[in-house]
Homo-oligomer: A and B are copies of this chain.
Amino acid sequence: MREVAVLGAGQTPVGEHWDRTLVSLAGEAALEALRDAGLDRPDVLIVSNMLSGVGPGSQLNLGAQIADWCGLKGVEAFKIEAACGSGGAAFRAGVHAVGSGLVDLALVVGVEKMTQTPSTVTTAGLATAADADTEAAHGPSFIALNALIMRRYQHEYGWKHEDFGAFSVNAHANGALNPYARLQQPITHEDYREARMVCEPINLLDSSPIGDGAAAVILVPAERLVPGGGRPRVVVAGSGAATDSLAVHDRRDLLWLAAAERSARQAFAQAGVGPDEIDFFELHDAFSIMAALSLEACGFTERGQGPRLGLEGAILPSGRLPIATQGGLKARGHPVGATGVYQIVEVARQLWGAAGDNQLPEPRVGMAQNIGGSGATILTHILRIS
């Protein structure tokens, strides 16, 4: 497979876009990515979305609709859905489309519009990422499933709730500098400890906010870009994808993201690097327990030691493994089907040196990991300057 580069990116702020349609958000991000790349028409448009078919005003067939809105009538277009992992799966499909030589220019756009739907519908919609028969039908929402995992994790490893605070404090500090983030206010450890409980032991500041938003990237063959041009050439060095049981109780091990480990191993192997060579990591911190589990499954720390990376400051922009550098799901926000593409946009912007106030000092290798369900579908990508 030929090497694939990320040429351009676009994103809307994550927020409550009451005056906007889903397709206009997607179109704004897509057209910005095309402009950023200096191109006007892709060979294929790959959309990621989770919930557009749920609730009032439902709309499927988004590929054709977004293509038309963007003035791309006729272009091949389709949607990929893998719950909250949709964005990573769509990006991977774009990498394959270009890597195979079948197309030379893929536009991947992730979009979600959540805040206008009644919250009960949204909560029920999000629960469709869980097992309908053995989980959702019995009432647990997604936060409840994560709470079960976090409680068990604390029981097994002895971490106190406040030990997870560094994840949220870091994410908010970074989000405060990102004009695209939904939550732009820093928080303190005291704020974290005193936040109201949502589903014990998960409190409000353990939880990422949903939101409306869209993010887009352009993929081209790397050979088309001259290294050392205007901004660094960023290539997709590794891509991995794996699944696990939908239902939490079906997992062999409740506290191990087997699909994260598997997909990360694939990505590391393809990129020819290991955890020590990753300069920063955009992880899927939908809840703070997920940040800990991702760090462990990817080999950034030992099993049960995820919170230590927070407590030691390793995850800060100045640390050895900055995470959520532009706010993560926790502060940038989690427009579910778009999140995986936001992560890729953020990794690319860091490598281009275009991350604004969130810029890290000369990162060369970045990783993104996107999770669908409570660990069921996991995509890992490694991008690097080449």
Contacts and interface: CB of A to CB of B under 8 A. Distances in A.
Interface stretch (A94-102, A170-178, A219-227): A94-102
Interface residues of A, number: 61
A74 B259 contact: yes
Given A64-B373, A373-B64, A75 B128 contact: no
A137 B98 CA distance: 37
A75 B242 contact: yes
A246 interface: yes
B132 A77 contact: no
Q: Is the interface of A mostly helix, strand, loop or mixed?
A: mixed
Chain B CB within 10 A, most for which of A44, A51, A132, A373: A132
B102 A96 contact: yes
A68 B250 contact: yes
Nearest to A246: B65
A379 to B, nearest CB: 9
Interface in A73-87: 73-83, 85-86
A377 B81 contact: no
Given A1-B102, A78-B89, 12 more contacts: A1-B100, A61-B372, A61-B373, A64-B244, A65-B131, A65-B376, A68-B246, A73-B245, A74-B242, A75-B242, A77-B82, A100-B101
